[in-house]
């Protein structure tokens, strides 16, 4: 199948591209390296050195003989998106191409607007381009379990039947998200559902829980294929952070009491879930939601698990209850359903001690790269304007000379000393980008 992965440079996008390519799909990836720019701005570098997307695509081909096409461009640039979809003619589009962090969206006014404009515009452009050029393609969109928040009733998979004044109807499950980032996913969900209704597009909205894990079968093929793994207070998520903290010998940063309960899944289960959604597409016009997680834990339980495993490996980890920087309930009901992916055959990798153990061991190999100063939370949900600013370290001066349109080239120069021999198209011309990076495919027969 021809599968286009949006956000193919990221923590999940890159492993997903390799996973699908390894299973003989014809895979293309798109990214614009915006997240790499934000990492520099906020001084939040990934734990494991991650070479450029072009370099990793090259290594993947060297190691496996599988080809992944690659184009650099912005999903907010409609001409680029339409041209790329028209050239590659994907049968499935896996959409990871969004700003992925709740804390980032709460830093300040600029970043919350940036998050919502970037995420909502990009997705809307993808929907319009599908409508125009590949209406029978299947959009597999990465949404979030955080769209639901923590309601005092059980959470259904996307929809709930409500009886009111003697009449019944099925409605999207109420959304009470906890950050501007999660709100951007809610707005996406509404746009996608509407587009499926009016244009007869088909989409699976994967309401994903918190993903943990450093490695997949494909990243383990070669050290140069590693994925971008964060542990800092902005892009790192709880379990990944706790594992790094334990290895680095700093207290585990538990926010508040830690009684808040969240849904989790292993990175390998993310990849399999995406594959299952692709292999079992919805009908034209259908918008469906899968709750994509395998287990729920209180954050305190997680911290305790990491601490005890770390102790077995000789790391003396401690847990510190920090004042909660977020505005969230800590004592709450939490019972979300997640039957649909299990029904399609997902076999979860549960968070047994062995998994935590293997994460800790993998992280230990990179312990010398942990920057302790980026571990504490730096974003306060209810800070007054101007308060968040000074706490956020930036490298604006280094970046100010680099315009966004040339940023991709700048990353390439900086990281691998130039683009010799790599397909690295110029940035401004959408037509040329797609032509250089994405091979033209024959249009599939209309449905
Ligand atoms: N937390 C801590 N200590 C930390 C980091 C987080 O106690 O060092 C707590 C937070 O207060 C929160 C919980 O852990 O209650 C989860 O936080 P997180 O940073 O692991 O995850 P979050 O920012 O809520 O969002 C993440 C992903 C997002 C995904 C979402 C699923 O960033 O992409 O959509 O998980 S869900 O949890 O359902 O919102």
Task: Tell me if 210 CB under 6 Å of ligand 1.
Answer: yes
Q: Per the structure, how many domains does the chain have?
A: 1
The pLDDT, as a whole number, for residue 151 is 98
E strand or H helix that includes residue 210: strand 210-212
Specify the residue with its C-alpha closest to ligand 1, atom 21.
Answer: 237
> Residue 262 Cα, ligand 1 centroid: separation in angstroms?
8
Q: What is the pLDDT of residue 401?
A: 45
CATH number at residue 234: 3.40.50.720
For 255, the domain range is 2-437
Atom number in ligand 1 closest to CA 324: 11
One pLDDT digit (tens) per residue for the chain, 447 residues: 999 999 999 999 999 999 999 999 999 999 999 999 999 999 999 999 999 999 999 999 999 999 999 999 999 999 999 999 999 999 999 999 999 999 999 999 999 999 999 999 999 999 999 999 999 999 999 999 999 999 999 999 999 999 999 999 999 999 999 999 999 999 999 999 999 999 999 999 999 999 999 999 999 999 999 999 999 999 999 999 999 999 999 999 999 999 999 999 999 999 999 999 999 999 999 999 999 999 999 999 999 999 999 999 999 999 999 999 999 999 999 999 999 999 999 999 999 878 899 999 999 999 999 999 999 999 999 987 654 444 565 545 445 445 544 555 544 444 433 332 223 233 333 344 443 457 667 665 544
Q: What letters, b where the CB count within 10 A reaches 16 and e where it falls short, cover 381-400?
A: beeeeeebeeebeeeeeeee
Mutate to test the pocket of ligand 1, among 103, 105, 237 (most ligand atoms within 8 A of CB): 237
The finding on whether 16 has its CB within 6 A of some atom of ligand 1 is no
Number of Cβ atoms within 10 Å of the Cβ of 414: 14
Please indicate whether residue 243, judged by its CB atom, sits closer than 6 Å to ligand 1.
no
Are 14 and 228 within 8 A, CB to CB?
yes
First to last CA, the chain: 16
Ligand 1 pocket test: pick from 262, 273, 292, 376 the residue with the most ligand atoms within 8 Å of its Cβ.
262
Place of tokens 């980890």: 317
Ligand 1 centroid, distance to 238 Cα (angstroms): 6
| Ramachandran class of 78: left when φ > 0, alpha when ψ lies in -120 to 50, beta otherwise | alpha
In this prediction the pTM is 0.91
Rounded to whole angstroms, the Cα distance separating 279 from 272 reads 10
Q: What stretches of 65-179 show up as alpha helix (H) in DSSP? A: 78-88, 102-105, 109-133
CA of 119 to the centre of ligand 1 (A): 18
Question: If DSSP codes are grouped into helix, strand and coil, which group holds residue 383?
Answer: coil
Give the number of C-alpha atoms closer than 13 A to the C-alpha of residue 387, restricted to the C-beta side. Answer: 10
Query: Cα of 374 to ligand 1 centre, how many Å?
Result: 17
Residue nearest to atom 13 of ligand 1 (CA): 238
User: Is residue 442 included in any domain, yes or no?
Assistant: no
How many other CB atoms sit within 10 Å of the CB of residue 223? 11
DSSP conformation class of 158: S
Q: At what angle do helices 353-364 and 238-248 cross, to 10 degrees?
A: 60
What distance in Å separates the CA atoms of residue 78 and residue 128, rounded to the nearest whole number? 9
Ligand 1 centroid to Cα of residue 103, in Å, is: 9
220-to-1, 98, 217, 225, 369 alpha-carbon distances in Å = 24, 25, 5, 7, 19
């Amino acid at each position: 199948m021809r599968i286009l992965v949006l956000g193919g440079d990221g923590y999940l996008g890159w492993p997903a591209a390799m996973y699908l390519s390894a299973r003989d799909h014809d895979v293309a990836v798109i990214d614009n390296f915006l997240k790499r720019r934000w990492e520099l701005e906020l001084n939040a570098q990934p734990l494991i050195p991650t070479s450029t997307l072009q370099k990793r695509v090259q290594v993947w081909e060297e190691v496996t003989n599988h080809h992944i096409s690659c184009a650099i461009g912005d999903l907010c640039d409609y001409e680029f998106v339409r041209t790329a979809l028209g050239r590659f003619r994907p049968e499935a589009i896996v959409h990871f191409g969004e700003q992925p962090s709740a804390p980032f969206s709460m830093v300040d006014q600029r970043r919350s607007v940036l998050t919502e404009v970037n995420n909502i515009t990009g997705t809307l452009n993808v929907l319009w381009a599908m409508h125009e050029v590949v209406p029978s393609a299947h959009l597999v969109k990465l949404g979030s379990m955080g769209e639901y928040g923590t309601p005092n009733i059980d959470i259904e998979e996307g929809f709930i039947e409500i009886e009111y004044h003697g009449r019944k109807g099925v409605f999207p499950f109420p959304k009470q998200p906890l950050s501007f980032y999660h709100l951007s996913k809610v707005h996406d969900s509404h746009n996608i559902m509407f587009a499926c209704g009016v244009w007869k597009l088909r989409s699976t909205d994967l309401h994903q829980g918190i993903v943990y894990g450093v490695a997949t079968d494909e990243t383990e093929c070669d050290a140069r294929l590693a994925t971008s793994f964060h542990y800092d207070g902005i892009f790192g998520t709880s379990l990944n952070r706790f594992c790094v903290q334990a290895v680095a010998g700093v207290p585990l940063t538990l926010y508040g009491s830690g009684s808040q309960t969240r849904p989790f899944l292993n990175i390998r289960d993310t990849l399999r879930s995406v594959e299952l959604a692709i292999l079992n597409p919805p009908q034209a016009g259908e918008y469906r939601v899968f709750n994509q997680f395998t287990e729920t834990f209180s954050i305190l339980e997680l911290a305790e698990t990491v601490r005890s495993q770390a102790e077995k490996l000789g790391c003396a980890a401690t847990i510190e209850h920090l004042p909660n920087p977020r505005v969230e309930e800590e004592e709450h009901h939490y019972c979300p359903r997640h039957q649909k992916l299990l029904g399609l055959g997902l076999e979860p990798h549960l968070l047994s001690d062995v998994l935590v153990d293997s994460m800790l061991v993998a992280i230990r190999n990179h312990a010398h790269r942990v920057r302790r100063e980026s571990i504490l939370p730096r974003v306060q949900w209810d800070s007054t304007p101007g308060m968040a600013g000074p706490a956020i370290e930036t490298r604006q001066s280094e970046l100010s000379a680099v315009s966004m349109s040339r940023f991709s080239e700048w990353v390439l120069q900086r990281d691998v000393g130039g683009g010799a021999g790599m397909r690295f198209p110029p940035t401004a011309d959408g037509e040329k980008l797609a032509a250089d990076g994405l091979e033209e495919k024959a249009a599939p027969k209309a449905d």
